[in-house]
Structure 1
Amino acid sequence: MLVICNSISGKSLPDDARIMGETDETLFEPLKNGMEYKVYGIMFYTTRIDFLLCPEGENPLWVPSNIFNVLDDKLPPDWGCIITEKTIDYSDLYDAFGIISILGYFELIRSYQHYIGILERDAGELQKFHSYRLSC
């Protein structure tokens, strides 16, 4: 799946999509307007969808889909999906943040340690992510 960034500003988010404390002053850096990004995961909240992206030379980050247009809607064959509320460990994401479902590469949806490790910038989990990214 491939998307193009059409804004890096929180101003582009409707009020009901500002679920993680975003404001008009929020900047989704290091993203750049007009740049294309490969999507490595999709996370579904009640009122928004986030994409897992990895800008060149950076680490992965989850970003609201509202600031992108989809260029290529094909999903990779090595992806799966979980319903967080019904999945051990991931149910915490439903309870704490209202995350309903995650779609992505198998390590992302089968290893909660990997999911958290990406967010917390764990070196081993980031290495796993970058290995997957380079294999695509």
Structure 2
Amino acid sequence: MLVLCRSVSGKSLPENARIMGETDETDFSPLQIGQQYKVYGVMFYTSRIDFLVCPASGGPMWVPSNLFDVVDDEIPQGWGCVLTERSEGYADLSEAFGIHSICGYLELIRSYSHYVGILERDPEELKIFYSQ
């Protein structure tokens, strides 16, 4: 799956999609307008979908799909899906943020410690991520 960044501004998010405290002033740097990004995961909330992308000048980050146009809609072979409310660790995401499910490469959806590790920039978990 491949997406094209068309905005890095919170202004591009409809009011009902601002679920993580985003405002018009929210800046989604280090994303770059006009740059294509490989999608490593898709996260489903009630009112929006986020993509897991990895800008060249930063680490992996979840960002609202509203900022992108889909260039290649093919789901990568070997991906899986976790229903957060029914899975140990991931249930915290359901309760705290209203995340219903995550689809992505298998380590992302099978290991909550990996999910947390890439966001916290754990070197061992980032090695696994970058191998994708």
For the criterion TM > 0.5, the same-fold answer is yes
- In the other structure, the counterpart of 1:107 is 107
In structure 2, the residue matched to 1:34 is 34
Give the counterpart letter for 2:78 in structure 1: D
Deviations 1:38-62 (A, max 9, x none): 0000000010000000112421100
Q: Percent identity?
A: 65
Q: What is the Cα deviation at residue 87 of structure 1?
A: 1.1
SS at match of 1:128: helix
Q: Does 1:45 align with 2:78?
A: no
Name the Cα RMSD after superposition: 0.7
Q: What are the residue-to-residue correspondences of 1:44-83 with 2, within 5 Å? A: 44-83=44-83
User: For residues 64 and 98 of structure 1, what CA distance do their matches in structure 2 show?
Assistant: 14
Following TM superposition, where does structure 1 have runs of at least 4 consecutive aligned residues deviating by more than 4 angstroms?
none
Please give the TM-score of this superposition, normalised by the length of structure 1: 0.95
Unaligned runs of 5+ in 2: none
CA distance in 2 between counterparts of 1:28 and 1:123 reads: 23
Q: Tell me if the contact between 2:30 and 2:57 (Cα under 8 Å) persists in the aligned partners.
A: no
Cα distance in structure 2, aligned partners of 1:111 and 1:82:
10
CA shift for structure 1 position 131: 1.3
Q: Tell me which amino acid in the other structure corresponds to 1:12.
A: S
Distance (whole Å) between structure 2 residues aligned to residue 25 and residue 89 of structure 1: 32
TM-score normalised per structure 2: 0.98
1:100 Cα shift? 0.2
Report the more deviating stretch, 51-60 or 110-119.
Answer: 51-60
Work out whether residues 85 and 91 of structure 2, in 8 Å CA contact, stay in contact via their aligned partners in 1: yes
Which residue in 1 is equivalent to 2:23? 23
Q: How many residues align?
A: 132
